[in-house]
Structure 1
């Protein structure tokens, strides 16, 4: 492992029972996203929650009392050290994975990548921005061994 990995700290917490996924693989994915842009120093906290928890966060911070797939925050206080929080919805990931024919882990990987890309400056508000963001997501996910998830 090179020094670029030691400067990107990833912590994943999960409050959902019965989910099977590889924490290490998702942590490495988060590092991969950061290194791609390139981000040398970062602290990334990823919370895997359910519908009710993400609905509360959505209501508290975005004034929408609905569940969503991912919410991300850039909590950075200094330019040299980025601090990102990404909250992903495991319940939505399970529903989407089942409907789209891939693993819940792959869907969670999509949500994590999507949240981090928002923190790194990507937007999905306009059609062209959305196309670029989703293309970048699938490229990263494919390189990380998850395959094409969004464009499937």
Structure 2
């Protein structure tokens, strides 16, 4: 299983659709299957009709995500995932960026008794769904988003991840 090492960069393009995924990691020796996470990101993009997309996923710790949250969202707290759509409205291709908190994923995976990989997959799916128009600002919208996340994660072989937490 490939291991993400601090400063590592992984990029893969899909021949059927022009969807490239790059993962960067600030966490020393995080042991996850990066190829599987990239495949998940490409699958989510394809499921929602994206034909041309660049997806960047930064796997970081509490301190970095807290700084990103403060700088871009004016929130003085850590979170699980932050998503950005950097697409140009005049360009049909999409440029999506996710910042994923591996420290929070480690805590939640331990508390929920499921693999770290599954928790990271949840955060990646959640962030991409935000970029694809889903919202969790209301209880009803959040419930729909979380159902969709679990459906995607089950199809990808991770099982229900969010539903286990509720």
**What are the equivalent positions in structure 2 for 1:32-111 lying under 5 Å apart?**
32-77=43-88, 78-111=90-123
Contact residue 4 and residue 35 of structure 1 kept, 8 A: no
Q: Closer, same or farther in 2 for the Cα pair 1:61/1:2, shift >3 Å?
A: closer
- In the other structure, the counterpart of 2:7 is none
Matched length: 151
Question: What's the offset of the Cα at 1:3?
Answer: 3.6
The alignment yields a C-alpha RMSD, in angstroms, of: 1.3
Larger proportion of helix:
1
Give 1:138's aligned residue: 150
**Residue 18 of structure 1, CA deviation:** 3.0
Q: Which deviations, in whole Å up to 9, do the C-alpha atoms of 1:101-143 show, x marking residues without a partner?
A: 0011110000000000000000000111101100000000010
State the SS of the aligned residue for 1:48: strand
Q: Does 1:25 align with 2:25?
A: no
User: Runs ≥4 in structure 1, deviation > 6 angstroms?
Assistant: none
Partner deviation per Cα, 1:62-117 (whole Å, 9 max, x = no partner)? 11121100000000014410000000000000000000000111100000000000
Give the gaps of 5 or more residues in structure 2: 1-12
**Structure ranking higher on relative contact order (CA contacts 8 Å, 6+ apart):** 1
Displacement of 1:32 in angstroms is 0.5
With the length of structure 1 as denominator, give the TM-score of the two structures: 0.96
